[in-house]
Amino acid sequence: MFTQLSIHYSDEWADPGKQHIPAAWKDIEDTDELAEAVYDYTREVLITLHEHGALPDFVQVGNETNGGLLKEQVGNDWPRDAQLFNAGIRAIRDVTAELGMGPQIVLHVAQPENTGWWFQEAISHGVTDFDVIGVSYYPQWSTFSITDMGSQVTYLRQTFGKEVMVVETAYPWTYETAGDTADNVLDKGIGDYPVTIAGQRQFMIDLTQTLLNNGAWGVVYWEPAWVSTACHTLWGQGSHWENATFFDFAQDNELHAGVDFLSYDYSQPSMPVDGVIQPAYGEALLTDEVDDNLDQQPWLDLLSLHMTDDADSLYLALTAAGDALAAQTGTYLIYLDTTDDAQGATEDVGRRPITVADPHKPEFRLDVQIENRMGR
């Protein structure tokens, strides 16, 4: 089992809407001095954990830092933000050098729609020495399906050369509450996943497998044990999350089957999607000429289709004449005809975005969604 520490740098929960400066630092106005405080605190935390045999495997420099960190008015000030992020990063690297061991560094953004532009800005402002892109993925608040989330993992890995983890996700198993006064935050289901224990379990299985297929390092469920108690938050007594935990409040908080996603027998793809056609694919199964695609869009001009398999999966790889990341955004259908048969007819030939052979009726169709770095 791996452990992960999220340093919020705040006296309360930090998220995209609030990154309040802790009381101990509230009078620090100089960015250099604040960066020094971030460095010292981060180093002290890690050294203390190491002394207790609890050095984590992953450390987040901030939590859901879409709008930066350590500020009363959330909004990006990249020169300032970059200095603060790099101070925390430098502290972790220095501890690693001192101890001869240390955690992987995670930068964490809420919702996959925000990852492309955010990491582009961060890297362009000199925040480069980190290991993992961390993403919160809550489908209730995201336009991304599970499939989209997998595609975004591949995009992020290929574009930024970093590993990717979903470091927060959850799904509700009931609409009911434990009778406390803290309203539950997650109150909607999606698609084919009912708001039941079985639905929660299946959502997590499908998400986890999709992430693995696309080369993600892992997934962290948040928060599996926030059961209702007599304790209070700022907004009420009890838990805002008891309907998304793995404990049934109607059965004396007995562990329920949603947690079984952890023991599911996942397929471990030998070739996760990474934007590079590996030698194992061999020669192209199908090839096509350049400049014979609809509307002369190079990113839809398919040149070759490759295929390989392992014990568990069939893998397809495509090459195109143009860069899909430079494409006009939208959803496209790629029609594949894998035989030389003559049955085809001519229906809808002109509107096929691409074919790889004569315009027969396709035997396979791939749905391809092209997004810009804003996730749109």
CB atoms closer than 10 angstroms to residue 165: 22
Residues 6+ apart with CB under 8 A from 366: 316, 318, 333, 334, 336
No. of H helices and E strands in the chain? 5, 15
Kindly write down the DSSP assignment for every residue of 275-299, as one continuous string: SS--GGG-S-SEE--TT-SGGG-GG
Query: Is 98 one of the annotated active-site residues of the chain?
Result: no
Strands 218-219 and 163-169: parallel
Please list, residue by residue across 316-325, b when 16 or more beta carbons sit within 10 angstroms of its beta carbon and e when fewer do.
ebbebbeebe
Query: Is 64 one of the annotated active-site residues of the chain?
Result: yes
Distance of alpha carbon 222 from the chain centroid = 14
Distance of alpha carbon 129 from alpha carbon 337, whole angstroms: 45
Residues composing the chain = 376
Helix H or strand E segment including 133: strand 132-137
List the beta strands (DSSP E) in 159-313.
163-169, 218-219, 232-233, 236-237, 247-248, 254-255, 286-287, 302-309
| Catalytic residue (choose from 33, 36, 51, 64) | 64
In DSSP terms, 335 is beta-bridged to 365
| Catalytic residue (choose from 163, 168, 242, 371) | 168
Distance of alpha carbon 179 from alpha carbon 236, whole angstroms: 11
Distance of alpha carbon 213 from alpha carbon 316, whole angstroms: 12
| Residues noted as catalytic | 64, 168
